[in-house]
Amino acid sequence: MNRKERRKLRKDKDLVKELYSIINKYLPKLLYMFDNLTDARNQSYTTYKMKTICVTRLFGLLCGLTTMTDISSDDFNSDNCIKNLSKICNQYLEELPYWETIQDVFININTDELRNIQKYIVKALIRSKMFDRYRFNGCFQLLFDGTGLSNHDYNLNNNCLIRKHNDGKISYYKYVLECKLVVGNIVISLDSEFIENKKMLTEKQKQDCETNAFKRMIKCIKKNYPKYKFIITGDGLYATTPIINICKKYHWFYIFNLKPDRLKEINDAFEGNIKLLNETTKTNYFLSSNIEFNKNILNVFKYIESKKNKTTTFRYISNIQVNDNNIDKVVKLGRQRWKIENEGFYTQKHRTFDITHLNSRNDNSMKCHYYFIQFAHTIRQLLELGNMLTKSLKLKIKEVSAHLLKSLTLTISDLNDLQTNFQLRFDD
């Protein structure tokens, strides 16, 4: 494709229309759910519908406007942008909601309702059947990991995690546990659980932690997705008897990293009964089956990968029956864990969205912003999968945001003539 063809493709593609088409086709109830969020405002003094508040924040994020002041900038508040969002929100707008208006609303939104929207997005996409070919033994794979959102020298909202340093200083941290559904080359937020102290702690009280957050989250996942089977994937932190027992109770598979210096009993059993599988010039797989550990039967496998004179060893425990025929696939599932770090956290922290910028000092508002980032990230990935402009020109994430902002602010989209013939294309 030459430069002239590239320019024409950029000119002809209305990203706003394509984005709205994707939302309308795959997430038809999303905007309705925004409008039905519990509204604590005095309706006598209300100018903007809840849908308008939410859509403004969502589309701002989709356009790469991560901070609240960005949303109120002149670049976003163009006449065309106002007209386009008016159509999407089905509300006549003279101006977009100011950032302070959005903040006031977010302070009072029930975050459990946003968690339900998160559930709706995932279920709607699963029910579309486009993820079915990524099941393994009928199971979808879930990735679990925690990440820091911010750190302070003061206890923000009195619920931060606390870390005492050797020099006597105290730091306060905001953490969240994420569960991502991985399908092909995308990761979608299935659930979020904030890791926080519910109250000021005494010296003898234990802080909240990732393990406790996992136990809370996994109950919600089982309740919200009772008919689905999953493969739970996590780092060495999850290779513990309590978590293995939870997976056993729910009849779910698991694949956890196994560190050589942890679970000595399992590592010793593995080293004492190794079977070599699928030996090649680049990769060697090793397996030890049916190891008994605290009334659980599990398998341990590792593979040694050699690239450019560098050798790397990966080791896992799992309740999946591993053999010559599936060892390569199971190892790939284990390595998928890195997607939550790369395609998940790294993208949201450094490429776009900037989740470490909390946007508010109010705890409830901060959590609302976090959920909207997860919504936006999912929708952005759908846009990138279904849009010929992004695929043909191989646009970077920030370039997609720039094109979407340009489309939103320079073109008045005809949303009455939506595209229905597009198809999401996954790269395996």
Query: Which tens digits make up the pLDDT trace of 72-114?
Result: 888 888 899 999 999 999 999 999 999 999 999 999 999 999 9
Q: Say whether pLDDT at 384 is over 70.
A: yes
Q: Model pTM?
A: 0.90
Higher pLDDT among residues 381 and 142, named by residue: 142
Give the residue-averaged pLDDT of 37-61: 91
Among residues of the chain, what percentage have pLDDT more than 90? Answer: 42
For the chain, the straight-line distance linking the first and the last C-alpha, in angstroms and rounded, comes to 24
Please name which of 109, 213, 181, 124 lies closest in space to residue 374, comparing C-alpha atoms.
181
Q: Is residue 312 part of a domain?
A: no
The lowest-confidence range among 208-217, 232-241, 242-251, 260-269 is 260-269
Q: Say whether pLDDT at 241 is over 80.
A: yes
Rounded Cα distance between 134 and 140, Å, is 7
Q: What local confidence, expressed as pLDDT, does residue 248 receive?
A: 94
Question: pLDDT band at residue 203, thresholds of 50, 70 and 90?
Answer: low
Give the residue-averaged pLDDT of 408-418: 78
Question: pLDDT band at residue 342, thresholds of 50, 70 and 90?
Answer: confident
Give the residue-averaged pLDDT of 244-264: 89
3: which residues sit within 8 A by CB, 6+ positions away? none
Question: pLDDT band at residue 229, thresholds of 50, 70 and 90?
Answer: very high
Q: Is residue 150 part of a domain?
A: no
Query: Which tens digits make up the pLDDT trace of 130-145?
Result: 899 999 999 999 999 9
Q: Is residue 257 part of a domain?
A: no
Higher pLDDT among residues 235 and 42, named by residue: 235
As given in the structure block, the two tokens for residue 8 are 């024409």
Average pLDDT, the chain: 85
Query: Which tens digits make up the pLDDT trace of 271-307?
Result: 656 665 554 444 577 777 778 888 888 888 888 777 7
Q: What local confidence, expressed as pLDDT, does residue 370 receive?
A: 95
Question: pLDDT band at residue 403, thresholds of 50, 70 and 90?
Answer: confident
Rounded Cα distance between 244 and 318, Å, is 9
Q: What local confidence, expressed as pLDDT, does residue 69 receive?
A: 85
The lowest-confidence range among 45-49, 71-75, 206-210 is 71-75
Cβ-based burial of 131 (10 A; exposed 0-12, middle 13-18, buried ≥19): buried
Q: What local confidence, expressed as pLDDT, does residue 386 receive?
A: 66
Q: Is residue 82 part of a domain?
A: yes
Helices 363-386, 111-127: inter-axial angle, 10-degree rounding: 20
Q: Is residue 49 part of a domain?
A: yes
Q: Is 385 helix (H, G, I), strand (E, B) or coil?
A: helix
Q: Say whether pLDDT at 225 is over 70.
A: yes
Give the residue-averaged pLDDT of 400-418: 80
Instruction: Provide the domain count of the chain.
Output: 1
Q: Is residue 47 part of a domain?
A: yes
8: which residues sit within 8 A by CB, 6+ positions away? none
Q: Say whether pLDDT at 391 is over 60.
A: no
Question: pLDDT band at residue 185, thresholds of 50, 70 and 90?
Answer: confident
The lowest-confidence range among 15-24, 53-62, 179-188, 397-406 is 397-406
Q: Is residue 22 part of a domain?
A: yes
Q: What local confidence, expressed as pLDDT, does residue 275 receive?
A: 61
- Its domain, for residue 403, covers 3-110+367-410
Q: Is residue 357 part of a domain?
A: no
